[in-house]
Structure 1
């Protein structure tokens, strides 16, 4: 369940980062603030079961990779193969951290 909180936080992070850039109306700003609250609440819940360094690394790495890809696909950001290479390295790092982190449930904990 803790990894689902990390995934939720990373997905919602994409929305609030885009919201920080493009929000203009009070309703858009309210949605951005709600997304920030949901994202950080999810991080806090994940940190109850997983090491905070792992949670933060996976959250920021996966969120950053997703935001860069969305910038390429939807917002006309400059595309380069070197950026894709570095995004790939981030994703490999996130997968590596996930694979090497022991889930407390696997150890017989809560």
Structure 2
């Protein structure tokens, strides 16, 4: 259950990271409220996950899931560049996440 909560926390991290783009510097009320809500939910779920998972592992996985998802959505939504180096680096992050999962 902790791993499920951790991945869900990572998904909410993606939500707030992408949401930042839509807040327009926190000047748009609805995107700002949704972004802040995503931040709170993400941190709360991370807090629940670290009750039973090692803090270092949980934090690394949480940020890794957020990073991979945010880069992927940046490519899809904002036409950010897709280069071999970027894809290779994301693959390394995914490998690290999987390594931490299987090592825990």
TM-score range normalised by the length of the shorter chain: over 0.9
1:33-85 C-alpha deviation (Å, 9 max, x unpaired): 11100000000000001011000000101210111111112210011011000
> Bigger radius of gyration, 1 or 2?
1
Task: Give the alignment's TM-score, normalised by structure 2.
Answer: 0.93
> What residue is the counterpart of 1:11 in the other structure?
11
Gaps of 5+ in 1: 102-110
Shift of 1:89: 0.5
Match in the other structure for 1:53: 56
Q: Which has the higher helix share?
A: 2
Residues in 1 aligned to 2:38 and 2:22: alpha-carbon distance in whole angstroms: 14
TM-score, normalised via structure 1 length: 0.88
1:104 aligned residue: none
- Pick the aligned partner of 2:73 from 60, 70, 74: 70
Query: What is the aligned partner in structure 1 of residue 39 from structure 2?
Result: 36
Once the 2 structures are TM-superposed, how far is the Cα of residue 97 of structure 1 from its aligned partner? 0.3
Tell which has more relative contact order, 1 or 2 (C-alpha 8 A, sep 6+).
Answer: 2
- Whole-angstrom CA distance in 2 between matches of 1:74 and 1:30: 20
Unaligned residue ranges in structure 2 (runs of 5+): none
Q: CA RMSD in A?
A: 0.9
- Displacement of 1:18 after TM fit? 1.0
Aligned residues between the structures? 101
